[in-house]
Structure 1
Amino acid sequence: MEPMDIEPSSSTSNLGINYYDSDVIGNGATAIVYRGFFDVPEKKAAIKRVFVQYYDVFENELKIWSSVDDNVNIIRCFKYLKWEEPTGINLYFAMELANTSLQNFVEQNPQDYVSIKNYLRDACKGLKWLHGKRVIHRDIKPANIMIFDNGIAKLGDFGISKKISSITEGTNSMGRGTGDYLAPEVIEAIDTKQAFVNTTSLDIFSMGLTIHNSLAQGNHIFGSVFRRLLNITSGRMDWSNLVGGDMGVRAKSLVSAMIKYEGKDRPNIEAVLNHPFFWNYKKDLRFVMSLAKSFSDKNIPEIKQINSKYSDEMSKTMMDGDWRQYIEDASLELFTANHKRKYKTSRIMELVALIRDKNEHYLELNTLLLMDDFFGENGEFSDEKYIKFFTSKVPHLIIFLYCTMQSIKVKGRFKYDYYTDDRKNFTMLT
């Protein structure tokens, strides 16, 4: 199979783009993507051929795209050119060639939630880079998150991106994104043939849907394709397919904020990346330990406020707010044996204190807890096993504490370490 060579005009004669016309990677209404290379065969690439009348990227955005390097989670554009053909002037892009997309990965590995979360984090990092350049993507979806052999994911299809300051006509049939992932303000603008302002909140909404769908085995939160647009504009959601447990609680808190009806109420991308959904076990433990240290004085008035709020939240789920119900009696007895302090299990901050105390004095724990079946790992105490024990037994623990501390306007170093300046509060959905 011989590659087709796109010979550029004389002014850009150093830009050689080659593709295999029978090796199509993707095909849409306005573009075709081929497997190919640029300059020399060793420089493999995905070659995108786009009719210029459908491509509304300004020259400035193309320059920004070309400036992407390997340290950014955005598909790189190595070269691009315009070429006049019998059918008209087309744009050709030589882009990084990925291994697969997040959509395909979820279809093939629907319950590999750890990998999926890592890919979503990478995509959000790419979005942060774009928003930092005052560019919005406008077509975020699982099919446009590309995965490479090194385990890194990048945002792809820069094709309909725009500067934040620009306005798009609702009557324009192109450049608005994919219908299933459009924000309600865009859908309504299209329906009423009105213009809408391009803001970063459009991307946040689409990324929120992408996070949910990737963690719900590909199921859309706004239901079947026939009712989807109506459900988006009416806010009718279905959370039933979302992964359960601690990850599900965190994802629900994050996604619910990202897909709020009003764009002004959605968090920015910095707050999204800082949300506990993307934390690892080290940050979980550090957060709980820092919280316990900040409230080591039992007389601090906020402690009573936090305990009371926890009881109120649990009452919504027909639970009584006693965290003892989540931890087996046998395990709890192992924790509290040989310790002078008595923990009041009706108060969530007492659980925070227990986690701190036992972590700081783990050598005093019952020897059974130091075995590999509990918190031991090859003869050593494992912080990872330790904090994951609590977050798995009490799956709402981190999210409740994070959201509550945000709502009571915590100050000082604790706020600096765990919160951004974004004033949109996250909530724990019960």
Structure 2
Amino acid sequence: MRTSEPLRANREFRDIWIAQALSKLGSQASYLALPLLVLSLTHSPAQAGLVGLVKGVAEVAFLLPGGTLSDRHDRRRTMLTCDVVRSLGMAALAYSVAVHRTVLPLILVVAAVDGACTSVFAGAVSGAVRRLVPEERFASAIALIQARNAAVYTAGPALGGLLFELSPVVPFVADAGSYLFSMAAVLAIRTPLTARRADGASGTGFWKDTAEGLRFVMRSAYLRNVVLNATVSNFTYGGIVLVAVAASYEGGSSGLSVGSIVTLSGLGSLVGSLFAPRAIGRLGTRQIVLAVGWADAVLALLMATTSRPLVLGTLIALSGLLTPALNVVFGSTLLRMTPDHLQGRVQNTVSFTAMSLAPLGPMFAGALLGGLGAVVAFMSFGLFLCAIAGVNTAKRHLFDAPATDSSAERTAPDTAAAETPPAPAR
């Protein structure tokens, strides 16, 4: 029975974990290579930025419908379709670069399709979470996935730059190939992944199904608080990193030194992910929420005292040490409390809401930097985080875990988990 086997012995989880590491590494490499390609063709920073905007908008726009699609159809087939489409898109782009026929509209279409398929894939994978890993291994599985993602997000852009220097074709060939690894892992899955109660066969409309996921989240006080804190975290993190980079650059630091801020922040998340299960074993949900909230607030205020990139990067890395534990707690609880037939919709609804204000963080930070300077910007974010932490402290039962779903759909001995952590916080 799977309920007693360790994760390292779970072949399906192990294979998809490795395959998605390669897939995400390829995606991160092409994510950096896309604007570099546009710059080499047009020499226009505005058009290079447009690529990232198009891909980001497509990802966010397809989160809600992507969750519904994954719940209405066979999740295994959905993941395979997404991988095929993404691989073909990157292969077409690589071919156009190789024959010197690349045009901006093609790049934008490939970026948009890649972003849309990524969100649909995320819904399908989240819906498969309770099928590949036993419930008692949820926290460990999500911690491993977070550690993998943190490593990929740290190394991927550097790999993309290196591959682009070798040849502009290489990053896109690598990304197309990485999706083939993902396909192979999905094809090897023998555990049934289709939702046990298929809403698509019930006669309800597509958008009514989508609204059902929204209602599930809004009815739960626990989930509303999770979404609120994740949204705040994503909003402030993007702004704080921008202020740190700008403060260091204006202070005379080199580009390499400034880049160390992002590298250190990624390392903090990586280390925190590895130790997340141990932290959860020692602390309860509320204690983790308060520890993360107050630590982030104090560290943001401390950033106002320096412009040295190494110090700023270290402070941001410290901020990221406890956040993975919070993500694991929220993510594993969300898996348990969400019925199988709603997994994709609820997971993507939480992600959609948590990401909704993320782009405004850097915009707000830029406005503060231009008008008042880095010190005031750090102080503003720090005081804002203090206010949120104060609310969490005052409401003692804000994060009491709700009763988990124990319906008949959980009775099969081989049920459990999948690929991407549903936790939305950075």
- Structure number with the higher strand fraction is 1
- Structure number with the higher helix fraction is 2
> Highest CA radius of gyration, 1 or 2?
1
TM-score relative to the length of structure 2: 0.26
Higher relative contact order by CA 8 Å / sep ≥ 6: 1 or 2?
2
TM-score relative to the length of structure 1: 0.26
